[in-house]
Amino acid sequence: MLAVLRARRELLRSRLTEWVAIPSVAGMAEHVDDVRRSAEWLARLCAETGFPEVAVHPTGESSAVIARWPAEDPGAPVVLVYSHHDVRAAKAEEWTVTSPFQPVHREGRLYGRGASDAKAQVLAHLFSVAALREVTGGTPPVSLVLLIEGQEELGSPGLEDLIRDRLDGLRPDAVVFSDTLQWRAGEPAICMSVRGMLPIHLEVHGTEKDVHSGAVSGPAPNAGLVLAELLARLQDADGRILLPGFYDDVPEPTLERRAELAALGYTDEDWLRRTRTRAIRGEEGWLVLERLWERPALEVVGLLTGDPTGMPRAVIPSSASADLSIRTVPGQPIHAVARRMREFVEQHADPELEYVVEMSEDSAQEGYRTPPSAALDALDEAVRAVRGVDEAGRMGNAGGGPAELLARHFDAPVVFFGTGLPEDHWHDSDESVDLDVVVRGAAVLARFWCSFADGAA
């Protein structure tokens, strides 16, 4: 199977180049048509691959694709595949290899926004099915349903309604979630968990309007400083988040889990080189991979106050805002974190100033951990067989996604299989994907379909 897919590598590169060139940026009015074009492009490829049922479904100002391919055996397992085709916006001026939506192939990598997150991951599934069809001449050994949404980068706000409207009668035996990373190209490891995510928007309003600093500097409140002080109170010097009771709901990783992570090949130097993060920070007392996958984290992802660069007015800003991201771990309820954040702001707020706290709990995502299941066993067998190893490692994913929603709605285990790597630089400039990793990933998926079907027989 791997040889068949390697022979299709150039076709994979060509297809991915076409798709990445469509700027399917989520949540931007000027790209609504592009997101629709991206969905239509994918729908055509699904049909060309052989899926007999393919449809594009509007979801708000976005578009999703649902494709079905029933197995010949009515008793075959049903597998729902989840991924997305929308992408993050890009700062073109920060890209050095190419423009974000003018993909180029260089030294085995395809560069462009969405190349790794997550268009290559979707193509790995389609190419796995095409390779199986070439080898066996028949339908897939499992009944496949592809759900490729167009709002993942916005927190999947329309996904639950889409599932309820279009897939409510579906009863999959497993969900394959393909929007995750692998640990290393040469070190096979299965992702066992994703973190949850709560986006938070904070505002502080001080003076009634921007005022000249030379006229009122000293006695006037400075919204920027007030917000900075509030943010500084959120985390201590050892990296612990200081929301009262925050860690009450954080489960300790088991000794087995800590041993799994310690067994992965890791050095600080390699991590810093691959991620371009310059330094290592975070919660003291935990290994880096434990901080990454088994501990919560708080990040400032946006900060705004005063005048933009190049327009100095020497004024005290009347307002300041920050966008935060709290990454939770499986078992740590989002609603409890949101409540503690509100209580924290109320506790530290200056009564003479105005504060705004906005949290989109409806679009926030819970963490999820894969339970033991036949699907996990089949995936483990497939990874070991294709990669030629006696044992596949175990890892996590620092990001999130709607895995918990899918597991809850369909009452089915979710297994994770992605074709990204930390050095692919998702959401960053010069995003890229290693095409050999995608080819091997497609081979693993082809083996997985067969292994899962055999195990269920």
pLDDT at res. 455: 86
422-455 in b/e form (b: 16+ CB < 10 A) is bbbbbebbbbbbbbebbbbbbbbbbbbbbbbbee
State the residue for tokens 């299965």: 190
* Cis peptide upstream of residue 118 (ω within 30 degrees of 0): yes
List the domain boundaries for the chain: 2-194+367-456, 196-250+296-359
Q: Strand ranges (DSSP E) for 349-431?
A: 354-359, 368-369, 393-397, 414-416
Domain 196-250+296-359 falls under CATH 3.30.70.360: yes
Question: In terms of pLDDT, which residue wins out, 308 or 126?
Answer: 126
pLDDT at res. 312: 84
Q: Strand ranges (DSSP E) for 32-91?
A: 53-59, 62-69, 78-84
Nearest to 152 by CA among 25, 56, 335: 25
Partner residues linked to 87 by β-bridges: 25
Say whether pLDDT at 172 is over 90.
Answer: yes
Q: What is the pLDDT of residues 402-430, one digit of tens each?
A: 999 999 999 999 999 999 999 999 999 99
If one counts every other C-beta atom within 10 angstroms of the C-beta of residue 383, the result is 23
Please count the CA atoms within 13 angstroms of the CA of 182 that sit on its side-chain side.
23
pLDDT at res. 456: 66
Domain 2-194+367-456 falls under CATH 3.20.20.80: no
Average the pLDDT over 343-370 and give the result.
95
